[in-house]
Amino acid sequence: MLVEERDLKERIKRAQEDDEKVVKVVKELKKAGIKTLKDKEWKIENGIVMKKGRIYVPEGELRGEIIRLHHNTPIGGHGGR
């Protein structure tokens, strides 16, 4: 795993801890003693909250940064523009 990827995962975890919706979901998961909630809509994998099988990134600066990092690449089809 790249250093940047490890750092990004830690930043996502911190952002999730500050998001009220995620805090509520995690509390419900822990209270119920399960790893999935609402017909697999929400779950926790390796300490990261997932929604519908994808990493949940709360709205805000980090989400925008991730979009820019992965959207503005030659493989993303935009050539960095």
So what's the pLDDT on residue 3? 53
So what's the pLDDT on residue 17? 85
The mean per-residue pLDDT over the stretch 25-40 comes to: 72
So what's the pLDDT on residue 35? 64
To the question of pTM greater than 0.75 for the whole model, the response is no
Between the alpha carbon of residue 47 and those of residues 2, 26, 29, 69, the distances in Å are: 18, 10, 12, 23
Domain-wise residue ranges, the chain: 3-71
So what's the pLDDT on residue 73? 59
Q: pLDDT tens for residues 36-75?
A: 666 667 788 888 888 888 998 988 888 888 887 776 656 5
So what's the pLDDT on residue 79? 53
CA distance 51 to 47: 13
